[in-house]
Structure 1
Protein backbone atom coordinates (compact mmCIF):
# COMPACT_ATOMS: atom_id res chain seq x y z
CA UNK A 1 0.00 0.00 0.00
CA UNK A 2 1.09 3.56 -0.64
CA UNK A 3 -0.15 7.13 -0.49
CA UNK A 4 0.77 9.60 -3.22
CA UNK A 5 0.88 13.22 -2.13
CA UNK A 6 0.33 15.71 -4.93
CA UNK A 7 3.71 17.37 -5.68
CA UNK A 8 3.56 21.11 -5.08
CA UNK A 9 4.89 21.91 -8.56
CA UNK A 10 1.66 20.64 -10.14
CA UNK A 11 -0.51 22.97 -8.11
CA UNK A 12 -4.20 22.04 -8.24
CA UNK A 13 -3.82 19.92 -11.39
CA UNK A 14 -4.31 16.55 -9.68
CA UNK A 15 -4.91 14.51 -12.84
CA UNK A 16 -1.65 12.55 -12.80
CA UNK A 17 -1.93 11.73 -9.12
CA UNK A 18 -5.56 10.64 -9.37
CA UNK A 19 -4.95 8.61 -12.53
CA UNK A 20 -2.32 6.65 -10.62
CA UNK A 21 -4.42 5.89 -7.54
CA UNK A 22 -7.54 5.15 -9.59
CA UNK A 23 -5.69 2.24 -11.20
CA UNK A 24 -5.11 0.51 -7.84
CA UNK A 25 -8.10 1.31 -5.61
CA UNK A 26 -7.22 -1.21 -2.90
CA UNK A 27 -3.55 -0.29 -2.74
CA UNK A 28 -3.25 3.46 -3.33
CA UNK A 29 -4.65 6.64 -1.80
CA UNK A 30 -4.03 10.29 -2.66
CA UNK A 31 -3.58 13.59 -0.90
CA UNK A 32 -4.53 16.32 -3.35
CA UNK A 33 -4.16 20.09 -3.63
CA UNK A 34 -7.30 22.23 -3.95
CA UNK A 35 -8.13 25.92 -3.73
CA UNK A 36 -11.48 25.41 -2.01
CA UNK A 37 -13.48 26.61 -5.00
CA UNK A 38 -14.09 23.15 -6.46
CA UNK A 39 -17.68 21.99 -6.86
CA UNK A 40 -19.15 19.21 -4.73
CA UNK A 41 -19.18 17.01 -7.82
CA UNK A 42 -15.46 17.52 -8.46
CA UNK A 43 -14.58 16.72 -4.85
CA UNK A 44 -16.82 13.64 -4.91
CA UNK A 45 -15.05 12.47 -8.06
CA UNK A 46 -11.69 12.92 -6.34
CA UNK A 47 -12.97 10.94 -3.36
CA UNK A 48 -14.14 8.10 -5.58
CA UNK A 49 -10.73 8.08 -7.26
CA UNK A 50 -9.00 7.62 -3.90
CA UNK A 51 -8.34 11.08 -2.46
CA UNK A 52 -8.56 11.20 1.32
CA UNK A 53 -6.88 14.49 2.20
CA UNK A 54 -5.62 17.83 0.95
CA UNK A 55 -2.20 19.35 1.34
CA UNK A 56 -1.51 22.98 2.15
CA UNK A 57 2.10 23.95 1.48
CA UNK A 58 2.77 27.24 3.23
CA UNK A 59 6.56 26.96 2.88
CA UNK A 60 7.41 26.45 -0.79
CA UNK A 61 4.44 28.45 -2.02
CA UNK A 62 5.28 31.36 0.25
CA UNK A 63 2.05 31.23 2.24
CA UNK A 64 -1.52 32.04 1.25
CA UNK A 65 -2.06 34.91 -1.17
CA UNK A 66 -4.72 37.53 -0.47
CA UNK A 67 -5.95 35.80 2.66
CA UNK A 68 -4.79 34.77 6.12
CA UNK A 69 -3.73 31.27 7.12
CA UNK A 70 -6.83 31.01 9.32
CA UNK A 71 -9.11 32.00 6.44
CA UNK A 72 -7.47 29.51 4.11
CA UNK A 73 -7.78 26.70 6.64
CA UNK A 74 -11.41 27.51 7.34
CA UNK A 75 -12.34 27.63 3.65
CA UNK A 76 -10.63 24.37 2.79
CA UNK A 77 -11.96 22.56 5.86
CA UNK A 78 -15.53 23.58 5.04
CA UNK A 79 -15.20 21.91 1.63
CA UNK A 80 -13.66 18.63 2.76
CA UNK A 81 -15.42 18.08 6.09
CA UNK A 82 -18.42 16.27 4.55
CA UNK A 83 -16.03 13.83 2.86
CA UNK A 84 -14.16 12.94 6.04
CA UNK A 85 -10.85 14.10 4.58
CA UNK A 86 -7.92 15.53 6.53
CA UNK A 87 -5.68 18.55 5.96
CA UNK A 88 -1.95 17.92 5.65
CA UNK A 89 -0.17 21.19 6.36
CA UNK A 90 3.47 22.01 5.75
CA UNK A 91 4.51 25.06 7.70
CA UNK A 92 6.66 26.12 10.62
CA UNK A 93 5.66 25.14 14.14
CA UNK A 94 5.37 28.84 14.97
CA UNK A 95 2.57 29.17 12.39
CA UNK A 96 0.86 26.09 13.80
CA UNK A 97 1.01 27.60 17.27
CA UNK A 98 -0.34 30.95 16.06
CA UNK A 99 -3.31 29.20 14.47
CA UNK A 100 -3.85 26.50 17.11
CA UNK A 101 -7.35 27.67 18.04
CA UNK A 102 -8.43 27.77 14.40
CA UNK A 103 -6.97 24.34 13.70
CA UNK A 104 -8.76 22.82 16.68
CA UNK A 105 -12.08 24.24 15.54
CA UNK A 106 -11.98 22.98 11.95
CA UNK A 107 -13.68 19.67 12.63
CA UNK A 108 -11.22 17.70 10.49
CA UNK A 109 -8.06 15.78 11.27
CA UNK A 110 -4.80 17.67 10.77
CA UNK A 111 -1.53 16.08 9.63
CA UNK A 112 1.56 18.12 10.46
CA UNK A 113 4.00 17.49 7.65
CA UNK A 114 7.74 16.89 7.91
CA UNK A 115 8.01 16.25 11.66
CA UNK A 116 5.91 19.36 12.36
CA UNK A 117 8.86 21.39 11.02
CA UNK A 118 10.51 21.34 14.45
CA UNK A 119 14.18 22.32 14.22
CA UNK A 120 16.01 19.17 15.28
CA UNK A 121 18.65 21.19 17.12
CA UNK A 122 15.89 22.38 19.44
CA UNK A 123 13.72 19.28 19.51
CA UNK A 124 11.39 19.08 22.49
CA UNK A 125 13.03 22.25 23.84
CA UNK A 126 11.45 24.26 21.02
CA UNK A 127 9.46 27.08 22.67
CA UNK A 128 6.27 26.04 20.83
CA UNK A 129 6.60 22.32 21.58
CA UNK A 130 4.15 22.55 24.52
CA UNK A 131 1.52 23.81 22.06
CA UNK A 132 2.21 20.82 19.84
CA UNK A 133 1.86 18.53 22.85
CA UNK A 134 -1.57 19.96 23.65
CA UNK A 135 -2.71 19.59 20.06
CA UNK A 136 -1.58 15.98 19.90
CA UNK A 137 -3.53 15.22 23.07
CA UNK A 138 -6.80 16.08 21.27
CA UNK A 139 -6.63 13.02 19.02
CA UNK A 140 -7.37 15.08 15.90
CA UNK A 141 -3.73 15.86 15.06
CA UNK A 142 -1.16 13.63 13.39
CA UNK A 143 2.55 14.02 12.65
CA UNK A 144 4.14 12.69 9.50
CA UNK A 145 7.66 11.45 10.21
CA UNK A 146 9.19 12.49 6.91
CA UNK A 147 11.72 14.85 5.41
CA UNK A 148 14.44 14.51 8.02
CA UNK A 149 16.54 16.83 5.87
CA UNK A 150 13.86 19.50 6.31
CA UNK A 151 14.61 19.69 10.03
CA UNK A 152 18.33 18.86 9.90
CA UNK A 153 21.15 19.37 7.38
CA UNK A 154 21.81 15.62 7.30
CA UNK A 155 19.81 13.43 4.91
CA UNK A 156 19.32 10.40 7.09
CA UNK A 157 19.20 12.11 10.41
CA UNK A 158 21.54 12.21 13.34
CA UNK A 159 21.28 12.02 17.12
CA UNK A 160 19.23 15.22 17.21
CA UNK A 161 16.75 13.92 14.63
CA UNK A 162 16.45 10.63 16.49
CA UNK A 163 15.72 12.49 19.72
CA UNK A 164 13.13 14.64 17.95
CA UNK A 165 11.44 11.63 16.34
CA UNK A 166 11.21 9.86 19.68
CA UNK A 167 9.81 12.99 21.35
CA UNK A 168 7.17 13.30 18.63
CA UNK A 169 6.22 9.63 18.81
CA UNK A 170 5.86 9.87 22.58
CA UNK A 171 3.25 12.62 22.15
CA UNK A 172 0.75 10.17 20.64
CA UNK A 173 2.02 6.94 19.04
CA UNK A 174 -1.41 6.27 17.51
CA UNK A 175 -1.20 9.47 15.49
CA UNK A 176 2.16 8.96 13.79
CA UNK A 177 2.64 8.06 10.12
CA UNK A 178 5.76 7.84 7.98
CA UNK A 179 6.52 9.23 4.53
CA UNK A 180 9.38 9.31 2.03
CA UNK A 181 9.08 13.01 1.07
CA UNK A 182 9.23 12.02 -2.60
CA UNK A 183 10.18 13.61 -5.03
CA UNK A 184 13.07 15.04 -2.95
CA UNK A 185 13.64 18.44 -4.52
CA UNK A 186 17.09 19.88 -3.87
CA UNK A 187 15.72 23.41 -3.55
CA UNK A 188 12.36 23.13 -1.82
CA UNK A 189 11.71 26.84 -1.43
CA UNK A 190 11.87 28.21 -4.95
CA UNK A 191 9.32 30.78 -5.95
CA UNK A 192 7.28 29.94 -9.04
CA UNK A 193 8.11 31.93 -12.17
CA UNK A 194 6.96 32.05 -15.79
CA UNK A 195 9.98 30.04 -16.91
CA UNK A 196 11.20 28.08 -13.89
CA UNK A 197 14.75 26.73 -14.11
CA UNK A 198 15.43 22.99 -14.06
CA UNK A 199 15.05 21.50 -10.60
CA UNK A 200 17.68 19.23 -9.09
CA UNK A 201 16.66 16.17 -7.11
CA UNK A 202 18.33 14.44 -4.21
CA UNK A 203 19.35 10.82 -4.76
CA UNK A 204 17.73 8.88 -1.93
CA UNK A 205 18.51 5.44 -0.50
CA UNK A 206 14.99 4.32 0.39
CA UNK A 207 16.19 1.30 2.32
CA UNK A 208 18.27 3.50 4.56
CA UNK A 209 15.43 6.00 4.86
CA UNK A 210 12.98 3.30 5.93
CA UNK A 211 15.46 1.80 8.39
CA UNK A 212 15.26 4.99 10.45
CA UNK A 213 11.80 4.07 11.74
CA UNK A 214 12.83 0.98 13.74
CA UNK A 215 15.86 2.92 14.95
CA UNK A 216 13.52 5.57 16.33
CA UNK A 217 10.99 3.21 17.87
CA UNK A 218 13.21 0.35 19.06
CA UNK A 219 9.96 -1.61 19.17
CA UNK A 220 8.68 -3.95 16.46
CA UNK A 221 5.01 -3.47 17.32
CA UNK A 222 5.32 0.33 17.32
CA UNK A 223 7.15 0.24 13.99
CA UNK A 224 4.30 -1.76 12.45
CA UNK A 225 1.80 0.66 13.94
CA UNK A 226 3.48 3.69 12.35
CA UNK A 227 4.03 2.01 8.98
CA UNK A 228 0.78 0.05 8.69
CA UNK A 229 -2.13 0.30 11.11
CA UNK A 230 -1.99 4.07 11.70
CA UNK A 231 -1.95 5.01 7.99
CA UNK A 232 -4.63 2.40 7.27
CA UNK A 233 -6.97 4.37 9.53
CA UNK A 234 -5.92 7.83 8.37
CA UNK A 235 -6.14 7.05 4.67
CA UNK A 236 -9.22 4.83 4.86
CA UNK A 237 -7.73 1.67 3.42
CA UNK A 238 -10.05 -1.36 3.30
CA UNK A 239 -9.69 -3.90 6.09
CA UNK A 240 -7.51 -6.89 5.30
Structure 2
Protein backbone atom coordinates (compact mmCIF):
# COMPACT_ATOMS: atom_id res chain seq x y z
CA UNK A 1 0.00 0.00 0.00
CA UNK A 2 1.32 3.44 -0.93
CA UNK A 3 2.05 5.59 2.10
CA UNK A 4 2.11 9.36 2.11
CA UNK A 5 3.36 11.79 4.70
CA UNK A 6 0.94 14.59 3.93
CA UNK A 7 0.83 15.73 7.54
CA UNK A 8 4.35 17.11 7.18
CA UNK A 9 4.79 19.32 4.10
CA UNK A 10 8.57 19.29 4.61
CA UNK A 11 8.72 15.49 4.33
CA UNK A 12 8.09 14.42 0.71
CA UNK A 13 5.75 11.48 0.09
CA UNK A 14 7.05 7.98 0.73
CA UNK A 15 7.20 5.91 -2.45
CA UNK A 16 5.68 2.53 -2.98
CA UNK A 17 8.27 -0.25 -2.74
CA UNK A 18 9.01 -2.46 -5.76
CA UNK A 19 7.25 -5.79 -6.16
CA UNK A 20 9.29 -8.22 -4.06
CA UNK A 21 8.09 -11.38 -5.85
CA UNK A 22 10.93 -13.04 -7.77
CA UNK A 23 9.10 -14.30 -10.85
CA UNK A 24 10.90 -16.09 -13.64
CA UNK A 25 10.64 -14.28 -16.98
CA UNK A 26 9.67 -16.19 -20.09
CA UNK A 27 12.81 -14.92 -21.84
CA UNK A 28 16.10 -16.75 -21.48
CA UNK A 29 18.80 -14.14 -21.88
CA UNK A 30 22.11 -14.30 -23.71
CA UNK A 31 25.47 -13.76 -22.06
CA UNK A 32 26.30 -10.24 -20.88
CA UNK A 33 22.69 -9.01 -20.78
CA UNK A 34 22.55 -5.58 -19.14
CA UNK A 35 19.95 -3.64 -17.19
CA UNK A 36 20.82 -0.10 -18.27
CA UNK A 37 18.66 1.85 -15.85
CA UNK A 38 18.34 1.23 -12.12
CA UNK A 39 18.79 3.25 -8.93
CA UNK A 40 20.34 2.45 -5.57
CA UNK A 41 18.57 4.32 -2.76
CA UNK A 42 20.01 4.22 0.71
CA UNK A 43 20.68 3.23 3.32
CA UNK A 44 19.04 6.53 4.15
CA UNK A 45 20.72 6.51 7.57
CA UNK A 46 24.13 6.43 5.87
CA UNK A 47 23.45 8.51 2.77
CA UNK A 48 20.89 11.21 3.64
CA UNK A 49 18.57 12.39 0.88
CA UNK A 50 18.47 15.94 -0.44
CA UNK A 51 16.15 18.30 1.38
CA UNK A 52 14.94 19.49 -2.05
CA UNK A 53 13.74 16.06 -3.17
CA UNK A 54 10.14 15.59 -4.26
CA UNK A 55 9.78 11.98 -3.09
CA UNK A 56 11.18 9.67 -0.43
CA UNK A 57 11.96 6.09 -1.47
CA UNK A 58 12.21 3.13 0.86
CA UNK A 59 15.74 1.73 0.96
CA UNK A 60 16.49 -0.05 -2.32
CA UNK A 61 19.93 -1.55 -1.79
CA UNK A 62 22.51 -3.30 -3.94
CA UNK A 63 22.10 -6.81 -2.43
CA UNK A 64 18.36 -6.70 -3.11
CA UNK A 65 18.95 -5.48 -6.64
CA UNK A 66 21.65 -8.08 -7.37
CA UNK A 67 19.30 -10.83 -6.20
CA UNK A 68 16.75 -9.56 -8.73
CA UNK A 69 19.33 -9.49 -11.53
CA UNK A 70 20.47 -13.02 -10.75
CA UNK A 71 16.89 -14.24 -10.82
CA UNK A 72 16.21 -12.54 -14.16
CA UNK A 73 19.47 -13.83 -15.67
CA UNK A 74 21.03 -10.38 -16.10
CA UNK A 75 24.80 -10.15 -15.73
CA UNK A 76 25.52 -6.41 -15.99
CA UNK A 77 23.88 -3.21 -14.83
CA UNK A 78 24.08 0.56 -15.08
CA UNK A 79 23.22 2.48 -11.91
CA UNK A 80 21.85 5.97 -12.48
CA UNK A 81 22.09 8.67 -9.82
CA UNK A 82 18.55 9.34 -8.53
CA UNK A 83 17.36 12.92 -8.04
CA UNK A 84 16.92 12.35 -4.29
CA UNK A 85 20.71 12.70 -3.92
CA UNK A 86 21.24 15.74 -6.17
CA UNK A 87 25.00 15.71 -6.91
CA UNK A 88 25.97 13.70 -3.82
CA UNK A 89 27.16 10.54 -5.58
CA UNK A 90 28.45 8.66 -2.50
CA UNK A 91 25.80 5.93 -2.52
CA UNK A 92 26.30 5.37 -6.24
CA UNK A 93 30.10 5.22 -5.98
CA UNK A 94 29.91 2.85 -3.01
CA UNK A 95 27.72 0.49 -5.03
CA UNK A 96 30.04 0.59 -8.04
CA UNK A 97 32.99 -0.28 -5.81
CA UNK A 98 31.28 -3.54 -4.86
CA UNK A 99 31.39 -4.93 -8.40
CA UNK A 100 33.53 -2.91 -10.83
CA UNK A 101 33.50 -5.71 -13.40
CA UNK A 102 29.72 -5.81 -13.88
CA UNK A 103 28.54 -2.33 -12.87
CA UNK A 104 28.76 1.10 -14.47
CA UNK A 105 27.30 4.39 -13.30
CA UNK A 106 25.77 7.66 -14.45
CA UNK A 107 26.45 10.51 -12.03
CA UNK A 108 25.05 13.97 -11.38
CA UNK A 109 27.78 16.60 -11.17
CA UNK A 110 28.20 20.29 -10.59
CA UNK A 111 28.71 22.37 -13.73
CA UNK A 112 32.14 23.45 -12.45
CA UNK A 113 33.46 19.97 -11.64
CA UNK A 114 37.18 19.68 -12.29
CA UNK A 115 38.81 17.45 -14.88
CA UNK A 116 40.65 15.70 -12.04
CA UNK A 117 37.40 14.79 -10.29
CA UNK A 118 35.94 13.56 -13.56
CA UNK A 119 38.99 11.31 -14.03
CA UNK A 120 38.49 9.86 -10.55
CA UNK A 121 34.86 9.15 -11.38
CA UNK A 122 35.85 7.46 -14.62
CA UNK A 123 38.18 5.11 -12.76
CA UNK A 124 35.33 4.39 -10.34
CA UNK A 125 33.09 3.24 -13.21
CA UNK A 126 31.15 6.37 -14.12
CA UNK A 127 30.47 6.64 -17.87
CA UNK A 128 28.18 9.64 -18.16
CA UNK A 129 26.35 12.44 -16.39
CA UNK A 130 22.64 12.88 -15.87
CA UNK A 131 20.86 16.19 -16.35
CA UNK A 132 17.28 16.56 -15.16
CA UNK A 133 15.85 18.72 -17.92
CA UNK A 134 12.38 18.39 -16.41
CA UNK A 135 13.69 20.70 -13.67
CA UNK A 136 16.51 22.50 -15.50
CA UNK A 137 14.70 23.78 -18.58
CA UNK A 138 14.82 27.56 -18.64
CA UNK A 139 11.41 27.61 -20.29
CA UNK A 140 9.18 25.05 -21.91
CA UNK A 141 10.96 23.82 -25.01
CA UNK A 142 14.21 25.67 -24.21
CA UNK A 143 17.33 23.85 -23.06
CA UNK A 144 20.13 25.49 -20.98
CA UNK A 145 22.25 24.77 -24.03
CA UNK A 146 25.30 26.88 -23.15
CA UNK A 147 25.68 25.17 -19.77
CA UNK A 148 25.12 21.78 -21.34
CA UNK A 149 27.77 22.39 -24.01
CA UNK A 150 30.21 23.58 -21.34
CA UNK A 151 29.71 20.33 -19.43
CA UNK A 152 29.77 18.21 -22.59
CA UNK A 153 33.15 19.65 -23.61
CA UNK A 154 34.53 18.60 -20.22
CA UNK A 155 33.37 15.00 -20.43
CA UNK A 156 34.02 14.42 -24.13
CA UNK A 157 37.68 13.31 -23.66
CA UNK A 158 36.46 10.48 -21.39
CA UNK A 159 34.09 9.09 -24.01
CA UNK A 160 31.12 9.87 -21.79
CA UNK A 161 27.60 10.94 -22.73
CA UNK A 162 24.89 13.08 -21.17
CA UNK A 163 21.68 11.38 -20.12
CA UNK A 164 18.66 13.67 -20.18
CA UNK A 165 15.54 13.23 -18.11
CA UNK A 166 13.19 15.08 -20.43
CA UNK A 167 9.86 14.91 -22.21
CA UNK A 168 10.74 15.03 -25.90
CA UNK A 169 7.31 16.39 -26.83
CA UNK A 170 8.28 19.62 -25.06
CA UNK A 171 11.18 20.08 -27.49
CA UNK A 172 9.82 20.00 -31.06
CA UNK A 173 13.14 21.29 -32.45
CA UNK A 174 15.21 18.75 -30.51
CA UNK A 175 17.09 17.48 -33.57
CA UNK A 176 18.15 21.00 -34.54
CA UNK A 177 19.14 21.95 -31.00
CA UNK A 178 21.34 18.88 -30.45
CA UNK A 179 22.59 18.16 -33.97
CA UNK A 180 26.13 19.46 -33.32
CA UNK A 181 26.26 18.63 -29.61
CA UNK A 182 29.80 17.64 -28.44
CA UNK A 183 28.81 14.23 -26.97
CA UNK A 184 26.08 11.67 -27.55
CA UNK A 185 22.87 12.05 -25.58
CA UNK A 186 20.76 9.32 -23.98
CA UNK A 187 17.05 9.61 -23.26
CA UNK A 188 14.99 7.29 -21.11
CA UNK A 189 11.43 5.99 -21.07
CA UNK A 190 11.12 5.73 -24.87
CA UNK A 191 11.36 9.51 -25.09
CA UNK A 192 9.16 10.10 -22.03
CA UNK A 193 6.08 11.33 -23.87
CA UNK A 194 2.54 10.15 -23.27
CA UNK A 195 1.47 7.55 -25.80
CA UNK A 196 -1.67 9.59 -26.51
CA UNK A 197 0.55 12.08 -28.39
CA UNK A 198 1.43 9.47 -31.01
CA UNK A 199 4.63 8.66 -32.84
CA UNK A 200 4.20 11.63 -35.19
CA UNK A 201 4.80 14.09 -32.36
CA UNK A 202 7.47 16.56 -33.61
CA UNK A 203 9.71 16.03 -30.58
CA UNK A 204 9.61 12.26 -30.97
CA UNK A 205 10.31 12.59 -34.68
CA UNK A 206 13.27 14.82 -33.84
CA UNK A 207 14.57 12.13 -31.50
CA UNK A 208 14.28 9.55 -34.30
CA UNK A 209 16.27 11.87 -36.55
CA UNK A 210 19.04 12.18 -33.96
CA UNK A 211 19.13 8.40 -33.61
CA UNK A 212 19.51 7.94 -37.37
CA UNK A 213 22.50 10.30 -37.21
CA UNK A 214 23.92 8.29 -34.26
CA UNK A 215 23.74 11.35 -32.01
CA UNK A 216 21.14 9.97 -29.60
CA UNK A 217 20.45 6.74 -27.74
CA UNK A 218 17.16 5.70 -26.18
CA UNK A 219 16.38 3.42 -23.26
CA UNK A 220 13.39 1.10 -23.47
CA UNK A 221 12.43 1.80 -19.86
CA UNK A 222 9.44 2.85 -17.78
CA UNK A 223 6.55 1.99 -20.12
CA UNK A 224 4.22 2.54 -17.14
CA UNK A 225 5.35 6.18 -17.08
CA UNK A 226 4.01 6.90 -20.57
CA UNK A 227 1.22 4.36 -21.14
CA UNK A 228 -2.48 5.08 -20.78
CA UNK A 229 -2.85 1.51 -19.48
CA UNK A 230 -2.40 0.86 -15.78
CA UNK A 231 -0.61 -2.50 -16.01
CA UNK A 232 1.35 -4.72 -18.42
CA UNK A 233 1.54 -5.33 -21.32
CA UNK A 234 1.25 -1.55 -21.98
CA UNK A 235 0.48 -2.34 -25.61
CA UNK A 236 0.10 1.33 -26.55
CA UNK A 237 3.89 1.67 -26.15
CA UNK A 238 4.56 -0.86 -28.93
CA UNK A 239 4.52 1.65 -31.83
CA UNK A 240 7.05 3.83 -29.99
CA UNK A 241 9.42 0.94 -29.29
CA UNK A 242 9.19 -0.25 -32.89
CA UNK A 243 9.76 3.26 -34.27
CA UNK A 244 12.88 3.66 -32.13
CA UNK A 245 14.28 0.31 -33.25
CA UNK A 246 13.48 1.04 -36.89
CA UNK A 247 15.26 4.38 -36.65
CA UNK A 248 18.51 2.80 -35.42
CA UNK A 249 18.58 -0.47 -33.51
CA UNK A 250 22.28 0.13 -32.72
CA UNK A 251 21.28 3.10 -30.51
CA UNK A 252 18.74 1.33 -28.26
CA UNK A 253 19.25 -0.24 -24.83
CA UNK A 254 16.87 -1.60 -22.19
CA UNK A 255 16.41 -1.23 -18.44
CA UNK A 256 14.12 -2.13 -15.56
CA UNK A 257 13.91 1.35 -13.96
CA UNK A 258 14.11 -0.49 -10.61
CA UNK A 259 12.96 0.33 -7.91
CA UNK A 260 10.28 2.17 -9.90
CA UNK A 261 10.13 5.33 -7.81
CA UNK A 262 6.99 7.46 -7.81
CA UNK A 263 4.74 4.77 -9.24
CA UNK A 264 1.44 5.73 -7.68
CA UNK A 265 -0.74 2.96 -9.08
CA UNK A 266 -0.14 -0.68 -10.02
CA UNK A 267 3.47 -1.77 -9.34
CA UNK A 268 4.66 -4.01 -12.20
CA UNK A 269 6.89 -7.01 -11.61
CA UNK A 270 10.32 -6.81 -13.24
CA UNK A 271 9.95 -10.22 -14.90
CA UNK A 272 6.83 -8.95 -16.67
CA UNK A 273 8.69 -5.81 -17.75
CA UNK A 274 11.50 -7.90 -19.18
CA UNK A 275 9.04 -10.07 -21.08
CA UNK A 276 7.76 -6.98 -22.90
CA UNK A 277 10.83 -7.45 -25.08
CA UNK A 278 9.07 -10.43 -26.66
CA UNK A 279 6.78 -7.90 -28.33
CA UNK A 280 9.12 -4.94 -28.64
CA UNK A 281 12.12 -6.92 -29.94
CA UNK A 282 10.86 -10.35 -31.06
CA UNK A 283 13.94 -11.31 -33.11
CA UNK A 284 16.54 -13.08 -30.89
CA UNK A 285 19.56 -11.59 -32.70
CA UNK A 286 18.21 -8.05 -32.38
CA UNK A 287 17.27 -8.65 -28.74
CA UNK A 288 20.85 -9.74 -28.01
CA UNK A 289 22.03 -6.50 -29.61
CA UNK A 290 19.74 -4.39 -27.41
CA UNK A 291 20.51 -6.29 -24.23
CA UNK A 292 24.23 -7.02 -24.64
CA UNK A 293 26.09 -5.55 -27.61
CA UNK A 294 24.74 -2.02 -27.46
CA UNK A 295 25.24 -1.56 -23.69
CA UNK A 296 28.83 -2.83 -23.94
CA UNK A 297 29.56 -0.10 -26.48
CA UNK A 298 27.72 2.72 -24.72
CA UNK A 299 28.98 2.02 -21.20
CA UNK A 300 32.46 0.70 -22.06
CA UNK A 301 32.11 -2.74 -20.50
The answer to whether the superposition gives a TM-score over 0.5 is yes
CA distance in 1, matches of 2:181, 2:210: 13
CA distance in 1, matches of 2:123, 2:138: 30
- Structure ranking higher on relative contact order (CA contacts 8 Å, 6+ apart): 2
CA distance in 1, matches of 2:276, 2:113: 38
Relative to its length, the structure with more helix (as a share) is 1
What displacement does 1:23 show? 2.2
Partner of 1:192: none
Pair 75,94 (structure 1): closer, same or farther in 2 beyond 3 Å: farther
Pair 34,201 (structure 1): closer, same or farther in 2 beyond 3 Å: farther
Question: Which has the larger Rg?
Answer: 2
Q: 1:120 aligns with which of 179, 195, 202?
A: 195
What displacement does 1:72 show? 2.9
Partner of 2:242: 166
Partner of 1:205: 269
Pair 155,17 (structure 1): closer, same or farther in 2 beyond 3 Å: farther
Q: 1:11 aligns with which of 86, 99, 108?
A: 86
Matches within 5 A, 1:1-240: 1-59=76-134, 62-64=135-137, 68-153=143-228, 154-186=230-262, 203-237=267-301
Aligned to 2:207, the other structure's residue is in SS state: helix
Partner of 2:67: none
C-alpha RMSD of matched pairs (Å) = 2.2
Whether the 8 Å CA contact 1:173–1:226 is kept in 2: the answer is yes
Aligned length: 223
CA distance in 2, matches of 1:3, 1:119: 25
Spell out, residue by residue over 1:59-108, the C-alpha distance to the aligned partner (whole angstroms, 9 max, x if none): 2xx22479952123212212211111001111111344334334222221
Whether the 8 Å CA contact 1:186–1:201 is kept in 2: the answer is no
CA distance in 2, matches of 1:18, 1:39: 17
TM-score under structure 1 normalisation? 0.85
Unaligned runs of 5+ in 1: 188-199
Spell out, residue by residue over 1:169-202, the C-alpha distance to the aligned partner (whole angstroms, 9 max, x if none): 1111110001111231226xxxxxxxxxxxx797
